[in-house]
Amino acid sequence: MSLLRMPEASSGRLAENVLHFGRVLRAAGMPVGTHQVLAALEALRHAGIGRREDFYWTLASVFIDRREQRELFDQAFHMFWRDPDLLGRILHMMLPRVEGLQPERDKANRRLQEAFGRGAPEAPRLEQQAEREIEIDALLSFSSRELLQRMDFEAMTAAELAAARQLIARLRLPLREARTRRLAPDPRGRHIDRRATLKAAIASYGDVIPLRRAAPLRVPPPLVILVDISGSMSRYARMFLHFVHALSNARRRVSVLLFGTRLTPITRELRQRDVDIALERVSARVADWAGGTRIGICLRDFNRLWSRRLLGQNACVLLLTDGLDREGCDCLAAEMERLHKSCRQLIWLNPLLRYDGFEPRAAGILAMRPHVDLFLPAHNLESLAELGRILAQPVAAQREEARAA
């Protein structure tokens, strides 16, 4: 009896089955391309398929790029390559459940359901409805649109992610206008517009000179966005970039930089109107996606190289990161303090706040927390919409909500 059994094919059709297995992984959300399938076949030619364990690790070494993909690959491998408990696993996945929070393992299961075509939920429809209807699907979810608003990005299937991207493109960030030194005509202004008054006096030819008044001009402040693209933030960063792309094309003076092990500006790439082309250009430019995290070093580079040119005119800074600095840099607190003093408002968006019992115990979080104005979650559509609602309020109301949180 062979130690390795392939689905609906003999060992002579190994290449075809490896190709189909790559398609399953890609449908489940892993970035698998043709070059990886060819590399897997070449690796199997050298390693052989005599032992199931060797076969597993040979494919894993080619298809797995990040640690978080390990569990998804493991489940797909055992299901595709005829695991003895395949039927039990499928039945377990197909049983309807009603739960408050799904285990971490179920996140991968839902994507595998979709990849194998076994009862995955359809993407929610985004049409405006006159009245809300309660819909019950195979997973006993109520009102798919409302469920999508509250669903964690990490738990979404590929279809749900596509629907979420459409909703994200409609979100806006209403930053309150900042007062500048430049004056604009205003009948109730406290300042006298000398040039306009002189022109009015010349045109009137009278003994009474009409006074023209002006007030300080108010404009939307520049927006600087720093996005953590380390391994633990990869999926959240991808979804947040769709939000950032919509902001970059909807308003002026938006600057975006990515950081993991290094700092990478991507403002020019996001100016492309087509979001797919824009993110493709970003992917080609960034070399440290889903790598390590050096928050302190990257913030030091930003303060030294970019702060003066980007943080003028009362700029507002959005910082998306979980605060888990792998380097443990001693300069993190000092660089956060410098960044806070250089901008009008520093807002930290942390996906870890999705947990009700979250406590800032990590050294990086403890160093960063005292130097931010707002500390908010950013793990689903509802949290991004809440960010816009809070920023539309006066600064005093924002601080009150921050203290209450």
Residue type, 321: T
Looking at residue 147, its pLDDT comes to: 75
pLDDT at residue 396 in the model: 64
The stretch 222-227 carries a mean pLDDT of: 94
Instruction: Give the pLDDT band of residue 161 (cuts 50, 70, 90).
Output: confident
**Residue 307: pLDDT over 90:** yes
Go through the chain and tell me how many residues it has.
405
**Cβ atoms 112, 154 nearer than 8 A:** no
Cβ atoms < 10 Å from Cβ of 129: 9
CA distance 219 to 234: 34
Note whether 82 and 5 are within 8 A (CB).
yes
Contact predicate 72/30, CB 8 Å: yes
Q: Looking at residue 33, what is its pLDDT? A: 81
Query: Sorting pLDDT into bands at 50, 70 and 90, what band is 31?
Result: confident
Interacting residues of 170 by C-beta distance below 8 A, sequence separation 6+: 246
Give all strands (DSSP E) within 284-402, no chain letters.
Answer: 316-320, 345-349, 374-376
- Backbone CA torsion sign across 238, 243, 249, 253: negative
- Report the pLDDT averaged over residues 249-277: 90
Average confidence (pLDDT) over 223-231: 93
Q: Which residues of 384-405 are buried (b: 16+ CB within 10 A; e: fewer)?
A: beebeebbeeeeeebeeeeeee
pTM for the structure as a whole:
0.64
Predicted confidence at residue 267, as pLDDT, reads 94
Where exactly does CATH 3.40.50.410 map onto the chain? 223-404
Confidence of residue 220 (pLDDT cuts 50, 70, 90): confident
* Average pLDDT along the chain: 78
Q: Quick one: tokens of 216? A: 């300080």
| Res 401: pLDDT | 63
Instruction: Tell me the longest C-alpha to C-alpha distance in the chain.
Output: 112
User: Which has more confidence, 92 or 244?
Assistant: 244
pLDDT above 70: percentage of residues in the chain? 77
In this prediction, residue 65 carries a pLDDT of 79
Does the pLDDT at position 132 exceed 50? no
Bridge partners of residue 317, in order along the sequence:
224, 346
Check whether domain 223-404 has CATH 3.40.50.410, yes or no = yes
Q: Is the pLDDT of residue 269 over 50?
A: yes
Cβ atoms of 322 and 349 within 8 Å: the answer is no
